[in-house]
Structure 1
Amino acid sequence: MKMRVAWLAALAAGFAVAFSHTAQTQSSAALTGRVTSIEEGPMEGVLVSAKKAGSTITITVVSDEQGRYRFPSGKVQPGRYALHIRATGYDLDGPQEVEIAAGLTVTADLKLTKTHDLAAQLSNSEWLASFPGTEQQKGSIRACTHCHTLERVARSRYDVDKLTSVIERMSTYPQLSFPQMIQKLVAPRIGGGEDPLEQRQAGWRRQAEYLSSINLSSAPQWSYSFKTHPRPKGRAAKVIYTEYDLPQKTRQPHDVIVDSQGIAWYASFGEQILGKLDTKTGKVTDYAVPLLKPKMPTGSLAVRFDEDENVWLGMQFQGGVAKFDKKTEKFQTWSLPPELNGDHVQINQVSPEHHRVDGKVWLQDAGTYTVLRLDPKAGKFEVFEPYKIPRPNIYDVISDAQNNVYFTVFGRENIGRIDAKTGKIALYPTPSKNSAPRRGMMDLQGRLWFGENRANRIGMFDTRTEQFQEWAAPTVESWPYDATADKNGEVWSGGEFSDRVLRLDPKTGGIIEYLLPRFTNVRRVFVDNSTTPVTFWVGNNHGASIVKLEPLD
C-alpha cells in the first residue's frame, strides 16, 4: 500500500505551520510543536517524521495528549529536514520543510485537514475489518498480503474472469515475490499431498468472485464504509522510531537481528544478499550469499546467531543452509543430498543457537513439511517426519538449552518437540483451535513464545510444565507473526497486518500497541536487551527499510 505521505516546504507564515526559534537548554528539544485540526483541536497520537536532506535515516516521534511533539536534540543534527505525518483520516495542510540550527529549538506547529483519500491510508487489518463477507471469504484472500497490500486489490477494476486469470498467474509465484521483484515457482510443495487442478481452479474462481464484490469492478466507489483503528495514546505515544533505508527497493529484510556490537544483520527475502547495517551511521554493507541451485528462486528467510554470533541463514529454494563467519567474512554452506534436494525443497528455518551441545543444527523444509538435523562437520542430514502425507505446514524450529527442538505447526494448532537423544516426537495442542503457531523464541526459563497467526494471539508454552497461556491482540486482524521475550519479562510481537508492535506484560495481561510510522509488512521481530530500556527491531519487508523502536518508559 502506498501510504499517503504529506511532505512540507516552509514557504511563508500562514500555511500549515508556524515557526519560531529559541535557545536550547541542556534537556530541550531540537524541534517541537503542536499538532491540531479544526475537527479535534490538539491531536494526540499523530506520528511526526523528520528526514534530513540527503540522509537515509528518518526519525519519528508521537504527539502527546496536548498535541505536542518533540524531537530530542540528540536524535536530529543541524540541517534541512522534510516532515511528514501518519494520522489515519488526516493530511497535512500543505508541504513543509524545516531548518534545524545548532543550539536552537525550532517550533513548528502543524495543522491537519481531513483527507480526501482515506483508502490510501488504511492498513491491511483495516481493509479486512472493512470488507463485507464471511470469515471463510476473508480467509481466502489473506495470503495476498505475502506479496502486496489489500489496497492494491480493492482498487482494481477487474471482473471475475479477469481476476481468476490473475489469481492463477499469481499462484505460480513463491511467497518471496513482490511487485518490485517477481520470481516464479519451479515446482509445488509436496508435503500437503495431492492438490488436483480442478480443486485449485474452483478455489481461484471463488476468490475471484469474492474479490470482484469488494473492488471497483462494478461501481466507481466502494459500497462499504471504511473502519479505522484509533490512534496511539498514553504509553503508546511515548516512543521514538528510527528508520533506516536500505540501498535498493528490492531489499526485503524479512528477518533482522542485532549483535552485541549494535550492528544489525538482515538477509534479503528474495535476493542472495546478507546485509550489515551500521546503526550509528546508517551505512549498509552487502555480502553476496553463494548460489547453490542457479535455476531456483533466490533469497533467504531465517537469520539467526549461533553461540559465537556467526550468522546462519535458511536458504529457501537454494536447498541448504549457510553460515557467515563475522571474523573472516566468509560463507560456508551445506546443501541437502540429491535424494532430498528436489525442486520442491524450501529450507526456510534454521536453529543454530545451541549447536555446541552436540554439534548439530536443526532446520525445516517447507517443501516437504519435515524437520531436519544437520551435522556440520560430517555434512550429514537426518530427516524427522512428525506427520505422514498429507502433512500440515511445519513452520519454525526453535532449539532449547539441551538442543532438543520445538517446532510450530502453522497448518494446525500444535507445538511439537523432538528429543535430541532419542528422536521421540511429541505434539501439544494450543488452547485455541486452528491457531497456526508461526515463529517464536525460547526464553531463559524454558518458555517458548510464539505468534498464533490465525488466532490473533500471542502464545506461550512452558516446556517444563507442558502448559500453555494465550493473550489476545487488542486490534482485530493483527495476526501476530512472531514473539520474543525481553530481559524484563515483557514480550514483544508484531501485527503482520496492522502495522502495530505489541508489548505484552504477562503478569497483568496488559498490551501496549505502538503504531509504526508507515505501512510495514511485519515478519520476524527482535529485541536488543543490551540497552535500557530495551530496543525493538523489525524489518519493513515490502518497504526496503529497517525500523528501530525505542520505548521511553
Structure 2
Amino acid sequence: MTTIRVLLISLLSLPLTALANPVADIQEWTVPWPDSRPRDPYVAGPDLIWFVGQKADYAATFVPSDAEFKRYDLPEGAGPHNVIVDKRGAWYAGNRDGHVGLINPQNGDIRRFELPGKGRRDVHTQAFTSQGDIWFTVQQGNKVGFLETDSGEFTLYSVETEAARPYGLVVHQDQPWIVYFASNEVATLKDGKLKVFTLPRKNTLPRRLAVTEDGNVWYVDYAEGYLGRLNPDSGEVKEWQAPAKAQARPYAMSSDKKGWLWLVETGVQPNRLVGFNPTTESFTDPVPIPSGGGTVRHMVYDPGSHSLWFGTDANTLGQARLQN
C-alpha cells in the first residue's frame, strides 16, 4: 500500500503534459545477467545493439526484433566501460585493466591492445574517426588517447589541468571534443595539442557532450543542473537550467538529426528523459524512465529509428522512440 501511495505521489508531481503527451515512448528490456550494470550501447545495425556489462566483465549483443541477448565473456577484471563497433568487430574499453579489446563476433576471440606507460590507464569513452581509428579518454590517468587501429600504436596526450578527469568524448569531423569532469573545462585536440575552453561558472562539472551540425558544442553540468552551449569560434557560452534545477544531476546526453538535445536527469528518481529545442530554447516536459533507471550514464542516438538507446543501473537496456 505504501509503495502504491509513493508511486501515485510521484506521478501526480509530474506535469500533466508529461503524462498525457510524452515526447518519447520508452521501452526497456531486462538484461539476463543480474546486477551487471549494462551500459554504453552502440547501434551496430538496424536490428543489432552492442553493450557492455561493467560489473560482470562481458560485452553483449541485443536483437530488438526478438529480444535475444548474446554474451561474450571478457578477461576477468576488464571492467568494460564502453564499446564501439565496426566491420572488424567490437572494440571495448578495458577500464580496469589498461587495454582496448577487439572482439571477433564470429568466435569470441579477443585481441588486446595494451596501453603504454605506468600509473592509471583507465580507458573510458571511445569514438571512431572516419578512418576507423579511435580517440578515447583516460579519466583517472588524466590523458586523452589515440589508437591507430591498423598498427596498434597509441599516442597519449597529457592533460595540463591536474586531476581534470577527462570524461565524455565525441568526434566531430574527425576532431575530438572532450569534457573534463573535475574541472570547468571543455577541450579539443588540434595540430597535436590540446586546446582548452574555460566555462564561466567555476562550479561547473561537465560530464557528457554532443556536437551539433552547426559546430556548437553542448555539454551537461552534473554539479548544478545546466545544459550549456559553447561556440568554439567565439568562445561564447550560454546555459539553461534543466527542469529539476540543481537536483537534476544530468548525466547521459545526446543530440538528434533535428538538432535537438536530449539529457537524462539522474538526481531524481525515477530518472527522467528531457529534450531541449534549441530554436525555442525550451525544455520538453520530463518523461520518467519506467524502471527508475538508478543512473543512466550514457546514451546514443540512432537516426534510422529516430530513437535513443541507453543502459541503466536497474539492469535494463532501453530505447526511447522520439516524438519530436
Regarding TM over 0.5, the answer is yes
Partner of 1:376: 149
Q: Is the 8 A contact 2:208 2:253 kept in 1?
A: yes
Q: Is the 8 A contact 2:229 2:238 kept in 1?
A: yes
User: Distance in 1 between the 2:249 and 2:208 partners?
Assistant: 12
User: Distance in 2 between the 1:464 and 1:284 partners?
Assistant: 44
Q: Is the 8 A contact 1:416 1:425 kept in 2?
A: yes
Cα offsets for 1:85-126 (capped at 9, x unmatched):
943368xxxxxxxxxxxxxxxxxxxxxxxxxxxxxxxxxxxx
Structure 1 unaligned residues grouped into runs of 5+: 7-36, 38-84, 91-228
Partner of 2:179: 408
Q: How does 1:95-134 map to 2 (within 5 A)?
A: none
User: Distance in 2 between the 1:519 and 1:409 partners?
Assistant: 27
User: Distance in 1 between the 2:109 and 2:15 partners?
Assistant: 44
Partner of 2:90: 311
User: Distance in 2 between the 1:260 and 1:231 partners?
Assistant: 35
User: What is the one-letter code of the residue matched to 1:361?
Assistant: I
* 1:262 is the counterpart of 2:31: no
Partner of 2:315: 544
Q: 1:462 deviation in Å?
A: 3.2
Q: 1:474 deviation in Å?
A: 1.0
Name the % identity: 18
Cα offsets for 1:280-310 (capped at 9, x unmatched):
2211111122x2xx5xx4421122345x595
Q: 1:264 deviation in Å?
A: 2.1
* 1:238 is the counterpart of 2:7: no
Q: CA RMSD in A?
A: 2.6
User: Distance in 1 between the 2:255 and 2:85 partners?
Assistant: 16
Q: Which has the larger radius of gyration?
A: 1
* 1:271 is the counterpart of 2:56: yes
Q: How does 1:158-177 map to 2 (within 5 A)?
A: none
Cα pair distance change 1:88/1:522, threshold 3 Å:
farther
Partner of 1:391: 163
Q: 1:341 deviation in Å?
A: 4.2
Q: What is the DSSP-based 3-state SS (H/G/I as helix, E as strand, rest coil) of the residue aligned with 2:123? A: coil
Partner of 2:113: 334
User: Distance in 2 between the 1:503 and 1:236 partners?
Assistant: 15
Q: Is the 8 A contact 2:252 2:296 kept in 1?
A: no
Displaced runs of 4 or more, over 4 A: 325-330
Q: 1:503 deviation in Å?
A: 0.6
User: Distance in 2 between the 1:529 and 1:233 partners?
Assistant: 29
Partner of 1:450: 219
Partner of 2:254: 484
Q: 1:355 deviation in Å?
A: 4.8
User: What is the one-letter code of the residue matched to 1:231?
Assistant: L
Q: 1:267 deviation in Å?
A: 0.4
Question: More deviation in 278-287 or 317-326?
Answer: 317-326
**Structure with more relative contact order (C-alpha pairs < 8 Å, separation 6 or more):** 2
Q: 1:327 deviation in Å?
A: 6.6
Cα pair distance change 1:482/1:281, threshold 3 Å:
same
Cα pair distance change 1:426/1:299, threshold 3 Å:
same
Partner of 2:244: 475
* 1:301 is the counterpart of 2:81: yes
Q: Is the 8 A contact 1:360 1:374 kept in 2?
A: yes
Q: Is the 8 A contact 2:224 2:248 kept in 1?
A: no
Cα pair distance change 1:286/1:350, threshold 3 Å:
same
User: Distance in 2 between the 1:445 and 1:236 partners?
Assistant: 33
Q: 1:540 deviation in Å?
A: 1.4
User: Distance in 2 between the 1:89 and 1:493 partners?
Assistant: 20
Cα pair distance change 1:335/1:518, threshold 3 Å:
same
- TM-score, scaled relative to structure 1: 0.53
Q: State the number of aligned residues.
A: 316
Match of 1:365 among 128, 138, 145: 138
User: Distance in 1 between the 2:311 and 2:146 partners?
Assistant: 28
Cα pair distance change 1:265/1:453, threshold 3 Å:
same
User: Distance in 1 between the 2:252 and 2:26 partners?
Assistant: 20
* 1:345 is the counterpart of 2:124: no
- TM-score, scaled relative to structure 2: 0.87
User: What is the one-letter code of the residue matched to 1:88?
Assistant: I
User: What is the one-letter code of the residue matched to 1:474?
Assistant: P
Q: Greater share of strand residues, 1 or 2?
A: 2
Q: 1:466 deviation in Å?
A: 3.8
Q: Is the 8 A contact 1:458 1:483 kept in 2?
A: no
User: What is the one-letter code of the residue matched to 2:197?
Assistant: Y
User: What is the one-letter code of the residue matched to 2:216?
Assistant: R
Q: How does 1:177-216 map to 2 (within 5 A)?
A: none
Q: How does 1:474-513 map to 2 (within 5 A)?
A: 474-476=243-245, 477-498=247-268, 499-512=271-284, 513=286
User: What is the one-letter code of the residue matched to 2:134?
Assistant: V
Q: 1:493 deviation in Å?
A: 0.7
User: Distance in 2 between the 1:237 and 1:275 partners?
Assistant: 35
Structure 2 unaligned residues grouped into runs of 5+: none
Q: Is the 8 A contact 1:86 1:517 kept in 2?
A: no
User: Distance in 1 between the 2:157 and 2:71 partners?
Assistant: 35
User: Distance in 2 between the 1:86 and 1:246 partners?
Assistant: 24
Q: Is the 8 A contact 2:103 2:110 kept in 1?
A: yes
Q: How does 1:148-163 map to 2 (within 5 A)?
A: none
Partner of 2:99: 320
User: Distance in 2 between the 1:282 and 1:350 partners?
Assistant: 26
User: Distance in 2 between the 1:305 and 1:471 partners?
Assistant: 34
